[in-house]
């Protein structure tokens, strides 16, 4: 019965909006009499309601878990257990693809994914289809537009939580290089991925470029955040460090935080007054 309901809902699950998922959840836990009185469902509604509290996404994940042939004798207690069990059954390539999308953190183009994973367009499409049908990935702008992201943020969180730090760094580095090759990343995105890859020098350089761009666009809070990031990650000669702190102070002052701006300015003034400089 559950596989039949899932199949009927499949067409409406292109986006994880609350409407279809809520209706599906209500169907499973018995608010709509679409499941009938099949004896195999005896007590199942109560078990699912107890485990999920009626959360639509958790209900859907439990239904997929049961659809895969798992027994309802011991339904998982936590959502990440259900997602983890599904991911563990993936093959190597679709699992790596899902991990890459999770590390990307935002919609990413197929060509960047193909480059990152060294896949042909045909191979990538085959693996994307597996994850799309399994409701692990989605395309927020539609599959014709092409950009891909995790089907739900809880899936992304579960993938990242189980990903070793070394693999996460490798993914960040591969993504940074692929974005660079295709010219798709903003300076801020590049800074984030190089920082995640442990390449502080490249991350700092891109953070400065992104901060300068943000300041020019009158996005002063963002500029201040990126100047701070650059100062934290980079290794600078005294003159360059003073210039960055001055830029940070200006961004904070323009953002309406003069008290915070005073601290970087005071540091610059003290260094300028020092006999060493």
The vertex-233 CA angle with 257 and 200, nearest 5°, equals 145
In the block, residue with structure tokens 């070793």: 164
pLDDT at position 23: 43
> How many CA atoms are closer than 13 Å to the CA of 249, on its beta-carbon side?
16
Q: Closest Cα partner for 97 from 53, 128, 74, 70?
A: 128
What is the largest distance, in Å, between two alpha-carbon atoms of the chain?
87
- Give the pTM: 0.73
Complete DSSP assignment for 71-136: -STT--SSHHHHHHHHHHTS-HHHHHHHHHHHHH-S-B-HHHHHHHHT--HHHHHHHHHHHHHTTS
277's tokens: 């400089």
pLDDT at position 82: 77
Beta bridge partners of 148: 108
Q: Give the separation between CA 40 and CA 1, rounded to whole angstroms.
A: 9
- pLDDT digits 0-9 by tens, 53-82: 666 667 777 766 666 655 555 565 567 777
Complete DSSP assignment for 38-60: -GGGTTHHHHHHHHHTT-HHHHH
Residue % of the chain over a pLDDT of 70: 64
| Backbone dihedral angles phi then psi of residue 258, each to the nearest 5 degrees | -60, -30
Range(s) for CATH 1.25.40 in the chain? 186-277
Residue 34 scores a pLDDT above 50 = no
> How many CA atoms are closer than 13 Å to the CA of 149, on its beta-carbon side?
15
Pairing status of strand 149-150 against strand 137-138: antiparallel
Measure Cα distances from 262 to 2, 84, 231, 244, 268 in Å.
62, 48, 16, 14, 10
pLDDT at position 109: 94
CATH topology of domain 186-277: 1.25.40
> 160 with 102: CB under 8 angstroms?
yes
pLDDT at position 94: 95
Give the residue-averaged pLDDT of 108-132: 93
Report CA torsion sign: 111, 116, 122, 124: negative
pLDDT at position 142: 62
Q: Give the separation between CA 145 and CA 99, rounded to whole angstroms.
A: 21
CATH topology of domain 78-184: Arc Repressor Mutant, subunit A (1.10.10)
> 109 with 146: CB under 8 angstroms?
yes
Q: How many CB atoms lie within 10 A of CB 199?
A: 18
> 98 with 137: CB under 8 angstroms?
yes
| Backbone dihedral angles phi then psi of residue 243, each to the nearest 5 degrees | -65, -40
- pLDDT digits 0-9 by tens, 162-187: 999 999 999 999 999 999 999 999 99
Q: Give the separation between CA 231 and CA 229, rounded to whole angstroms.
A: 5
């Amino acid at each position: 019965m559950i596989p039949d309901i899932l199949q009927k809902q499949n067409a409406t699950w292109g986006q994880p909006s609350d409407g279809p998922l809520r209706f599906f959840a209500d169907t499973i836990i018995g608010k709509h009499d679409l499941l009938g009185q099949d004896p195999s469902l005896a007590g199942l509604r109560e078990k699912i309601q107890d485990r999920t509290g009626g959360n639509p996404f958790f209900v859907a994940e439990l239904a997929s878990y049961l659809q895969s042939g798992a027994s309802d004798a011991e339904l998982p207690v936590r959502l990440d257990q259900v997602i983890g069990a599904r991911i563990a059954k993936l093959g190597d390539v679709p699992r790596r693809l899902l991990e890459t999308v999770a590390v990307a953190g935002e919609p990413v183009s197929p060509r960047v994914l193909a480059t990152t994973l060294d896949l042909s367009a045909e191979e990538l499409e085959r693996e994307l289809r597996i994850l799309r049908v399994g409701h692990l990935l989605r395309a927020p702008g539609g599959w014709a537009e092409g950009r891909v992201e995790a089907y739900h943020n809880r899936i992304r969180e579960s993938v990242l939580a189980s990903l070793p730090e070394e693999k996460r760094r490798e993914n960040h580095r591969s993504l940074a290089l692929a974005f660079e090759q295709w010219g798709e990343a903003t300076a801020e995105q590049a800074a984030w991925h190089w920082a995640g890859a442990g390449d502080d020098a490249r991350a700092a350089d891109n953070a400065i470029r992104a901060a300068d761009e943000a300041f020019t666009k009158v996005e002063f809070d963002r500029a201040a955040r990126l100047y701070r990031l650059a100062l934290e990650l980079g290794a600078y000669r005294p003159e360059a460090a003073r210039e960055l702190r001055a830029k940070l102070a200006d961004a904070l002052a323009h953002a309406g935080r003069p008290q915070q701006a005073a601290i970087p300015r005071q540091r610059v003034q003290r260094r300028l007054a020092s006999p060493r400089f």
